[in-house]
A = this chain, B = another copy of it.
Amino acid sequence: MIIIGERINGMFTDIGNAIKDRNPAAVQEWAKKQEVAGARYLDINTGPASKNQAEDMKWLVEVAQEASDLPLALDSTNYDAIEAGLALCKRPAMINSVPAEMPKMERVFEMAAKYNAAVIGLAMNEQGIPKDAESRVALAMELVAMADAYGLHMEDLYIDPLVLPCNVGQDHGPEVFETLRQIKLLADPAPRTVVGLSNISQGTKNRELINRVFAVMAMACGLDAAIADACDDELVEAVATARIVLNMDIYCDSYVDVFRKQG
């Protein structure tokens, strides 16, 4: 599992203020911190208070790229803002995200093809998030078919089965695991999988414990990536360990440090 660092998001006060004041310090500090901690992508989200999402996205992209060489995951439901950001990305970026809905898929997969970007596709549509694995997988198949039609490689399609907080949608947990397993059977090579990790623990106690336990369990079911707190040391240690157990990295006594440095 790779970590898409979640911290450059206008929802956090320091980043929200940085955007408002066009002060790059906090953005660049988090870009560097997340990279050192082991993130492989930086999520970039202007946040709910943004009045001009395209301009704010462009500024964040430029400022983040001055501080870090990591590729970016542009996170917005405003596709004009995403496209404005994509045009400035120096490395192939990720579009976060698109539901299994026309014409949103058409717009997003066309942009992905134009800018050589990866795409996060959500297993939901106009009717919301399905309750069972079967319906989620059906929506995942729609995303696979559309991605394929636009020439996107399956390695560049990250499907998010959609995680609900375990204190309100507890019955979704096993369905998410089953969805992850079945997504890996939809195509060969298989599409990738991603979750928004902190969703599992919204409003709970022991948030970090729940996050890291869920993360490694999901890895056992085929999870490839997570938008998560790269600076949560215990999460990074658990993920590095899961990669050893899954035989994805070669064991050595310093495997946690090796994992961080690969970031």
Contacts and interface: CB of A to CB of B under 8 A. Distances in A.
A75 to B, nearest CB: 25
Contact of A216 (B200, B205, B213, B246): B213
Interface stretch (A32-40, A129-137, A234-242): A234-242
Oligomer copy total: 2
Contacts of A237: 206, 209
A204 interface: yes
Contacts of A166: 244-245, 251
Contacts of A173: 244-247
B213 A247 contact: no
A217 B200 CA distance: 16
A253 to B, nearest CB: 4
Contact of A238 (B213, B220, B245): B213
Contacts of A171: 247
A186 interface: no
Contacts of A125: none
A177 interface: yes
Interface in A189-209: 200, 204-206, 209
Given A216-B217, A219-B217, A220-B221, A210 B170 contact: no
Contacts of A219: 217
B170 A205 contact: no
A118 interface: no
Given A177-B220, A213-B216, A220-B217, A204 B251 contact: yes
A206 B247 contact: no
In the A-B complex, list the 7 residue pairs whose CB atoms are closest, starting with the nearest: A217-B220, A213-B241, A220-B220, A205-B253, A173-B245, A167-B251, A170-B247
7 contacts: A174-B247, A206-B237, A213-B216, A213-B238, A217-B219, A220-B220, A221-B221
